[in-house]
Structure 1
Amino acid sequence: MLIATKEIEVRYAETDQMGVVYHANYFVWMELGRTSIIQELGFSYAEMERDGIISPVLDIQASYKKPLRYGEKAIVKTWIEEYDGFRVTYKYEIFNDSGDLAVVGESKHVCVKKDSFRPISIRKKYPDWHEAYEKAKKQSVEAS
């Protein structure tokens, strides 16, 4: 199964008054994880956006297990959980540098035309991308 790993140094500005990472920053880190897995598959969000296609979030959630603090490293692991040719579900696990699980999350996305927000078929518009996602999804299912 393809799992992209992104290491992030926790910056002081990402913490709250309690000295732990502010919850919304985990969503930013999930975006970095999505970008990493897409790059590992050989593609680029930026190129897709130049084609007039964007990928808004349909749903996103996070379950917080252990706080991360300033000076620690966050290790974001991302994989493709589900894909049907239109929608993609990415799953995330974020660990501290000691290997403790800090956050579990997922986000669901669809690709749309930027000017109209009409959904597009990834299968038709980006057949290479579709094939890579199908393969990654199969690997994910086989590994379960």
Structure 2
Amino acid sequence: MPQEHTFDLEVRYYETDGQGVVHHSNYFRYFELARVELLKQVGHDYADLERDGYMLVVSKIDCRYRSPARYGDLLRIHIRTTRARGARIDHEYRIACGERLIAEGHSTIACIGRDGLVQRIPEILELDEK
């Protein structure tokens, strides 16, 4: 699995509150989108994993808000995998608008089977330690 991925996303109107500021809940959606995009980078998607019996569930997640993002802002979303072995994947996130830091976060993802029991992550998701 690649360690890092960065992509741009323009803030959409429906992601904002009455003041035109991105609602805090959307940052967790941005983090999820980052995980999806990182997986696509290696030619896989969540549907492939689920079809093979691997369910990736959020075990822990946090976000530190630094500066408000607003409708129309172009966000640069960066994800970095810090650990991926056993049944666990840890990520760090950084969202910026130009040079302005918007938010930072961390997540721990657990791998479970269809039966709900913890299982090892598939080999394609293991962190390349090179």
TM-score by length of 2: 0.90
Q: How far did 1:134 drift? A: 2.5
Larger relative contact order (Cα-Cα within 8 Å, sequence gap ≥ 6): 2
Q: Match for 2:111: what amino acid?
A: C
Instruction: Report the structure, 1 or 2, having the larger helix content.
Output: 1
Taking the aligned partners of 2:3 and 2:55, their CA distance within structure 1 comes to 23
Residue by residue over 1:124-144, the C-alpha shift from the partner in whole angstroms, topping out at 9 and shown as x without a partner, is: xx33x14xx331xx35xxxxx
Taking the aligned partners of 2:110 and 2:43, their CA distance within structure 1 comes to 19
Q: Which runs of 4+ in 1 moved over 3 A?
A: none
Taking the aligned partners of 1:81 and 1:64, their CA distance within structure 2 comes to 21
Taking the aligned partners of 2:15 and 2:45, their CA distance within structure 1 comes to 26
1:9-88 superposed matches below 5 A: 9-88=10-89
Q: How far did 1:101 drift? A: 0.9
Taking the aligned partners of 2:31 and 2:60, their CA distance within structure 1 comes to 13
TM-score by length of 1: 0.82
Identity of aligned residues (%): 32
C-alpha contact (below 8 Å) 1:6/1:32 kept by paired residues: no
Q: CA RMSD in A?
A: 1.6
| Unpaired segments ≥5 residues, structure 1 | 140-144
Where 2:127 maps in the other structure, the secondary structure is: helix
Aligned residue pair count = 129
Instruction: Report the structure, 1 or 2, having the larger strand content.
Output: 2
Where 1:91 maps in the other structure, the secondary structure is: strand
